[in-house]
Amino acid sequence: MKPINVGLIGVGTVGGGTYAVLERNQEEITRRAGRGIVVSMIADRDLEKARQLAGEGVTVTADANEVVSNPDIDIVVELIGGYTVAKELILKAIDNGKHVITANKALLASHGTEIFAAAQKKGVMVAFEAAVAGGIPIIKALREGLTANRIEWIAGIINGTSNFILSEMRDKGLTFDTALKQAQKLGYAEADPTFDIEGIDAAHKLTIMASIAFGIPMQFEKVYTEGIAKLTREDIRYAEELGYRIKLLGLTRRTPKGIELRVHPTLIPTRRLIANVEGVMNAVVVKGDAVGATLYYGAGAGAEPTGSAVVADLVDVTRMHTADPKHRVPHLAFQPDLLSDTPILPMEEVETSYYLRLRVLDKPGALADIARVLADLGISIEAMVQKEPSEGEEQVDIIMLTHRAVEKNINTAIARIKKLPTMTGKVTRIRMEQLGGK
């Protein structure tokens, strides 16, 4: 059979990795796909970089529009990132009847509804395995492997850069800035690394996973998002002393009142497998009603791991290319006209447990005052540690772990505690999850 023609737009980290994997494993990939998959056109702003990569017979251009308009191209692979140009190119490719593969989670989380609707209308596929958790086939697992289940919750370490920074700070004592620079050098970070460290990238990925898991529209604007930039080495150390590790977690959970959708640093018991996921590795735990808890682990960023996911999509799209569009797996797992309007739970209504660090004067009654504030709001303390004051210091750190409480009550408690006369510093609050099988 005639090979399928691919136009690759963007040959940076992921584009380069995709090309390398496709070249190296061409023979096996052809045997799997049932026909050859050939990159016949490459576009990149940096023409020289594209020329160096391209094999014989590959057309190279600096103008990506030439790829999406080329009638010989069957599949367009968008790997430039960003919202504006990438969106225009994808919509144009769809309009020209081409299938699209993208790793652009930012674009899908914000404009996925429009893009999938356009693809549905045109009868083409938009595949995006690489958009969530790099090389881990989590989209495939959620959309197909777990399709029998009513998904209860998903918790994931889904930003490689943040996890890499946290691991380097804890294990090697690197500063935040040094660790971030290394992540950038290794090609893990987004073009704007604040997306990684402020939790925005994880929120994009969580939006996509929640949509597939619960059959709800993409609602990126409703994700509660808090990054790792304010975490201190003291909190990382205190958490360890208490048997917990701090991870940037994306969490979505079905509750009777609505769906939780949140990204924030989280204390996880060190005995959990997911707490031991280090460096650029990602891990996602999915709890289904029938299967129970399942865990997916692998490289969350980088050239070839992400290229692996892009090539998997290439094989899938090639296999399904000639199938009747009605018989394909829906983009977001659920039939597009059967999405649910289950509300997203406001963060104030979310219930979880908390780590609180309070800096207080080492005076009688300081602890009792704090305990009273918590008790008045029905917040129960699970564990508490008071640190020895340093030589000559009059202030001490008190660390408290609470039982589950509603976020708005904790907010009120923190506001009241801050006003206590014995308080000398700010109150640090980090959420805590047990992530058991329940």
Residues that bind ligand HSE (CB under 6 A): 134, 159-161, 188-190, 196, 201, 300-301
Site for ligand NDP in 160-189 (CB under 6 A): 187-188
Residue-wise over 270-294: b if at least 16 C-beta within 10 A, else e?
eebebbebbbbbbbbbbbbeeeebe
* Residue of 53, 35, 36 lying closest to 44 (CA atoms): 53
Rounded least distance, CB 201 to ligand HSE, Å: 5
Q: Is 172 among the residues known to form the active site?
A: no
Nearer Cβ to ligand NDP (188/334) = 188
Number of residues that bind ligand NDP (CB under 6 A): 27
CB 287 within 8 A of CB 272: no
Q: Of these partners, ligand NDP, ligand HSE, none, which one is at the site of residue 344 (CB under 5 to 8 Å by kind)?
A: none
Task: List, as one string, the DSSP characters of 197-243.
Answer: HTTHHHHHHHHHHHHHHHT----GGG-EE--STT--HHHHHHHHHTT
Q: Of these partners, ligand NDP, ligand HSE, none, which one is at the site of residue 104 (CB under 5 to 8 Å by kind)?
A: ligand NDP
Nearer Cβ to ligand NDP (183/370) = 183
Site for ligand NDP in 266-305 (CB under 6 A): 301-302
3-state secondary structure 382-430: EEEEECCCCCCCCEEEEEEEECCEEHHHHHHHHHHHHCCCCEEEEEEEE
Work out whether strand 395-402 and strand 224-225 pair parallel, antiparallel, or are unpaired.
unpaired
Residue 64 as a binder of ligand NDP (CB under 6 A): the answer is yes
Tell me which of 98, 205, 222, 287 is the catalytic residue: 205
CB 353 within 8 A of CB 382: yes
Question: What is the spatial distance between Cα 154 and Cα 296, in angstroms, rounded to a whole number?
Answer: 11
Specify the stretch interacting with ligand NDP by CB under 6 A; choose among 22-30, 73-81, 359-367, 369-377. 73-81
Residues 6+ apart with CB under 8 A from 376: none
Rounded least distance, CB 52 to ligand NDP, Å: 12
Site for ligand NDP in 305-324 (CB under 6 A): 306
3-state DSSP percent of the chain in helix, strand and coil, to 5? 40, 25, 35
**Judged by CB under 6 A, which of 20, 85, 141, 229 binds ligand NDP?**
85
Q: Of these partners, ligand NDP, ligand HSE, none, which one is at the site of residue 334 (CB under 5 to 8 Å by kind)?
A: none
Site for ligand NDP in 1-60 (CB under 6 A): 9-15, 43-46
**Judged by CB under 6 A, which of 104, 167, 207, 252 binds ligand NDP?**
104
Question: What is the spatial distance between Cα 62 and Cα 11, in angstroms, rounded to a whole number?
Answer: 11
Residues that bind ligand NDP (CB under 6 A): 9-15, 43-46, 64, 79-81, 85, 103-104, 130, 134, 187-188, 190-191, 301-302, 306
Catalytic sites, residue numbers:
205
